[in-house]
Every structure is written in C-alpha cells, then in structure tokens.
Chain A
Amino acid sequence: MSQPQNTQVNWPEYRLIEVENTLGAKALRPGNQRAALADATKKADRAVNKLSVQFPAWMQGESDRLSNIRLEMAQNGYTAERLDQLFTCAHDIKGQASTYGYPVAGIIGKLLADLIENAPAGIKIPLAVIDQHVDTIRAIIRQDLKGDGNAQTNNIIEGLRVLDHTTLKKLHANAPTLAAAE
C-alpha cells in the first residue's frame, strides 16, 4: 500500500490526519453490495467445506501436541517454558476447534487456557488437574465428538469448571506461603 496523501488538522495536543482512501479507489467497484457479500461468502464456505475433510486430522494433531507437552511436563519437569507451550496449545484449540467442527473441545481448551492464565505466577498447577483437561480433549477427538455436545459433555464441562474454580481458589489461598517456601 503506497503512502496516502494526507490532510492534517493540528491541535496543540494531537493531530487529526484525514487519510486519502487509496484502497477505496483501488478496490471499490459499483455493484450490489449485498449480492457480492452473499456470493463471496458462499464461495468461501464451499472452499472451507472442501478443506474440512482434513479437519479431524488437524484436530488430532493439536490434541497430540497438547498431550506431548503434558507428558514432557510430567517426565522432564514443570517449567515456565513448558507451561507457556501448554497455554499456547490450549489457546490454539480454543480458537480453532469450532472451525474444525469440535466446539466442545474448544470450550475445554478455553478452560485450560483460563486456568493457566489465572493461576498465581510461580505456583504449580497440579498435573492431575491439567491431565483431566487434556484427557477430555483427547477423548472428544478419539470419539470424533463433533457439534455442540450433549447432556454428558455439558456435565463434563461443568465438572471441569468447578474443578478449575476450586483449584484456583486453593492456589491463590496458598500462593504467599508456597511462594515464600520456593
């Protein structure tokens, strides 16, 4: 994009810069906006749908990545770096699982990401709690549980929510003592 020609309005504390709409001149064409949107999104949805045969494998890949980080933490130590990797992976699952057709896995990815983000710094989250999230995501993918879930998955999500809440409460309550002991 080339540097636009600007008109500047100066005030003592800030400048308001009216930017020339170079993109509009370059890419706006007369036409029916609503029809163009409908046509473009229909084509895009069709293209993404074609891609969707690969989504279970992609989701499996994300689930394996999560599982491997968890295993690394258990076998080679709970480090800040591995916890960050685990957060990144859970965060990716949160953002992508719905697109891949696994919204329930996305909800659990969000729970795990929130748990890590809200835990007090320097305090270890019990691996058993992390395991429950990872194992649930793995089970969802293994059973190819697509869609919005059912009463059973709702109960599992609720159970994990309660577990996370209780865990965070304990971690925060013990944070000063544990941090001092480290």
Chain B
Amino acid sequence: MAKIAFDQLRFVVCDDNAHMRRILRTMLRAFGSREIYEAEEGASGLEAVEAYQPDILITDVKMPIFDGIELTRMIRNPDGFSQAYLPIIVLSAYSEKSQVIAARDAGATDFMCKPVSATTLYNRIQNIIEHPRPYIRTSTYFGPDRRRQEGAFSGDDKRIEPSEQYTTVPD
C-alpha cells in the first residue's frame, strides 16, 4: 500500500480547450501537485515537454496543428527525443475502440474518456506510477508493452480439475 506524493510530480496538460485545461489543473492541484504546465495544441505541447521535462503528460486527442496521437508518436522516438519514456495519458471525448487502439498503437501509456472524474484521473496516475509497464521496441512500434499486465486473479481457478478442486467425501 502506498500513496502518491503529488508535490513531487511535474505535469504538462495539453488541450486546446482552456476550460478543460482549467478543470484538469484544478484536480491536479487539489491532489497536491504544484508544477502544472499547459499547452494548447500539439506543437506547443511538444515544446512544453522539451522545456519542462514533466513526469507525466496528459493530452487531448483532437487539437489543431497536430493532435494528441501525433504528439504521442513524436515523443516515442527513442533515437531522437530525450523524453521518449515519458508516461502519456491520452484524454479524449472519443470513446470508440478504434480511437483507444490508435492511442495505444501510437505509444500512449493510458487512455481516459471525457468527461473526466477526479477518481479516474487519480487511479490512472497511481497505476502509471505503481505499475510501470516494460517498453517494447520493434521496427514499427516503440512504447509501453501493449499487453496489459493484470493483477493476480483472486477468484477460483476454473482450470483445476474437479478432482483437485474438491475433496471427495467418502460414502
């Protein structure tokens, strides 16, 4: 069991909508974070990541110039970008599976659907910090391992043969 010292974490929040940035900033500040930098589209998001070296980037998908998926792809460049291992939470009003897959295939660490709640945001950040996934590098992909590592299953193991699972009571 552990808690997060948010005052040790630096965030960049990238969203073209000023109100959404304000809501995210309000939540992160309430969690205890003091260093939150903002960008309003993909290009300035990339600059902010380079300039502020955040611990976590939270980015919207639909933005002018280049979107959150392209921003993620640009960051996941281990040979050309110093922050290639940066945890990235992609935030979007798109909840369609295709968008989640697009974000995942670009190298996003996690995906959140709008409207965003404080509990979901906290849980996503906690999961990123407590359970970082290994990275995979192939000729076509660089980013966190796309196979989710689930926790140990706590229910009955159905694969156990019935004879192993139950004690036979003699007549």
Contact = CB atoms under 8 A, between A and B. Distances in A.
A46 B26 CA distance: 10
A28 B85 CA distance: 19
B8 A26 contact: yes
A92 B128 CA distance: 26
A63 interface: no
B22 A23 contact: no
A99 B26 CA distance: 13
Nearest to B123: A37
B93 A19 contact: no
Contact of B26 (A24, A47, A98): A47
A110 B31 CA distance: 30
A31 B85 contact: no
A30 B4 CA distance: 9
The secondary-structure label for the interface of chain A is: helix
A18 B132 CA distance: 9
A110 to B, nearest CB: 8
A182 interface: no
Given A23-B87, A48-B23, A51-B26, A17 B1 contact: no
A23 B23 contact: no
B124 to A, nearest CB: 12
B136 interface: yes
Nearest to A55: B19
Interface stretch (B100-108, B111-119, B148-156, B158-166): B111-119
Contacts of A142: none
A24 B93 contact: no
B114 A36 contact: no
A75 interface: no
Interface string A132-170: 000000000000000000000000000000000000000
A133 to B, nearest CB: 16
Contacts of A45: 118
Interface string B59-94: 000100000000000000000001101110000111
Contact of B93 (A16, A37, A47, A91): A91
Contacts of B31: 40, 43-44
B23 A36 contact: no
Interface string A108-122: 001001000000000
A137 to B, nearest CB: 15
A6 to B, nearest CB: 8
22 contacts: A1-B87, A3-B82, A16-B135, A16-B136, A17-B134, A19-B85, A24-B130, A26-B55, A27-B5, A27-B8, A28-B5, A30-B3, A31-B2, A33-B3, A40-B30, A41-B118, A43-B30, A44-B118, A47-B26, A48-B23, A48-B30, A51-B26
- Ordered nearest first, which 5 A-B pairs have the shortest CB separation? A95-B93, A95-B114, A36-B3, A44-B118, A31-B3
Given A27-B5, A43-B30, A44-B118, 13 more contacts: A1-B86, A3-B85, A13-B139, A19-B134, A24-B132, A29-B4, A40-B6, A47-B29, A91-B93, A94-B114, A95-B20, A96-B114, A96-B115
